[in-house]
Chain A
């Protein structure tokens, strides 16, 4: 085997090794539907109809039916983003709608607001 071949193998393996050191572990941004099913469905239901397991007569207000177009057109994507970040009171709604700004970064909350408008209320 010739010398330069051995040398290049060495160089390449060192390069790969250092590469693996530099690249940080990839932390994926969660996709909007995964976030919805994990955080929101417990109240709003998997289909968004306001029928998650927590929805019951004990609650002071019902988790909104997010598929009801007539009601949902009132809320722009921007308003929904604010509600998601700081909770219901950001839009004069009940504190039963919780804040998620401490859990999810703004881009994931924006993606959720978009999901609500394009997939759930389609408005």
Chain B
């Protein structure tokens, strides 16, 4: 074999490798998100500028531009591998969900790449370090915060939750996302930030706005306790 030929073969192998390389690069989380059409239903830039209910009803999935602030680091990979229903109604509708969950699922490596990508999407203006997710609530504090969730306002009217760790089943309405297992899913800082300013994250949401000029359901201290309670739910 002459050297020229070997050189040409070497060159084409290198060219092939580099193509492979760019493909691999495009397959990172952001690339997968794009190529799988996730962006058709989820906005990764925000805050959203939705103006009215008519436009809101056309929205096909929740905004993810603050995913990195909202979710616990290890949660998304697990959910993306095996998506489960968050509410009991079809998104943007009131029809009950039936049958198997139909959200697109990702395989292990893809799920972890996309999860890593989504976790880079932070709300840069959100205050952090306010709620300590790891703090175990004392029994008395837990009871008091439970009252804020169950009586002061009946939050479980639209959110499934387990009143106790070992409760046999979750109770509540389900037009809102289930808060069963919120401990593994949501960060306390985001929940607090969301409850303070719901419109920033979900303009034209179905959830009543509890903190505002016309009506304020909770003083700030209680709001913090409520956020802490929610991220302690099993």
Contact = CB atoms under 8 A, between A and B. Distances in A.
Interface of A: 25, 27-28, 30, 34-35, 38-39, 41-43, 46, 52-56, 58-60, 85-87, 94-96, 98-103
Contacts of B57: 38
Interface stretch (B70-78, B105-113, B147-155, B183-191): B147-155
- Chain B's interface size range is 20 to 34
B212 A102 contact: yes
A62 B172 CA distance: 12
B154 A35 contact: no
Nearest to A52: B94
B206 A99 contact: no
Contacts of A96: 154, 157
A54 B208 contact: no
Interface stretch (B13-21, B48-56, B224-232): B48-56
Nearest 4 CB-CB pairs, A to B?
A: A54-B173, A102-B212, A101-B214, A98-B208
Contact of A53 (B156, B174, B209, B213): B174
Nearest to A41: B94
B152 A95 contact: yes
Interface string B33-62: 000000000000000000111101100000
Contacts of A43: 157-158, 173, 175
A34 B154 contact: no
B171 interface: yes
A78 to B, nearest CB: 16
B89 interface: yes
Contact of A42 (B154, B156, B206): B206
Contacts of A39: 206, 208
Nearest to B160: A58
B175 A53 contact: yes
* Dominant secondary structure at the B interface: loop
Contacts of B89: 42, 53
A38 B89 CA distance: 13
Nearest to A96: B154
Nearest to B173: A54
B52 A55 contact: no
B153 to A, nearest CB: 5
B234 interface: no
A42 B94 contact: yes
A7 B23 CA distance: 58
B94 A99 contact: no
Max count, chain A CB within 10 A of own CB: residue among B156, B157, B158, B172: B157
Interface string B202-234: 001010111111110100000000000000000
A35 B53 contact: yes
B62 to A, nearest CB: 16
A41 B209 CA distance: 17
B68 interface: no
A59 B215 contact: no
Interface in B138-192: 151-154, 156-158, 171-175
B214 A94 contact: no
6 contacts: A30-B52, A42-B175, A53-B173, A58-B156, A95-B152, A95-B153
